[in-house]
Amino acid sequence: TQLLEQSPQFLSIQEGENLTVYCNSSSVFSSLQWYRQEPGEGPVLLVTVVTGGEVKKLKRLTFQFGDARKDSSLHITAAQPGDTGLYLCAGPLGENNDMRFGAGTRLTVKP
């Protein structure tokens, strides 16, 4: 069982559509991060959210951290083919605050 559950696992949409992907846990996190990973490359950090209820915007991407700091969502408005990739959430947990990653949502945006 993943500590951070991401849904959906796969999402295929047309250019211009809106979408939301989710990252859920039964554990409380001090912060959560979202990464995007393209095929054959390493993940790239998009945002870090640190306060319960926090909303951050990055152009067409809106990130929200749940009030209880157990979940987060990523909303993309008017998706573009360049948004295609694997979206990963991650957060520090445990004695050493090791980063724990979800399995990701693989997004495909068709032109």
Residues of this chain that bind other proteins (CB under 8 A):
2, 4, 29-31, 33, 40-45, 48, 50, 88, 90-92, 96-104
- Least distance CB 40 / other proteins (angstroms): 7
- CB of residue 17 to other proteins, shortest distance in Å: 25
Q: How far is the CB of 42 from other proteins (least distance, A)?
A: 3
CB of 52 to other proteins, least distance (A): 15
Specify the residue, 14 or 95, whose C-beta has the smaller distance to other proteins. 95
| Dihedral-angle region of residue 95 (phi above 0 means left; psi in -120 to 50 means alpha; beta otherwise) | alpha
Q: Which is nearer to other proteins, 55 or 99 (CB)?
A: 99
In Å, what is the CA distance from 14 to each residue of 75, 90, 105? 15, 27, 16
CB neighbour list of residue 54: distance below 8 Å, 6 or more residues apart: 64, 65
How far is 108 from 13, CA to CA, in rounded Å? 6
Q: Which is nearer to other proteins, 42 or 111 (CB)?
A: 42
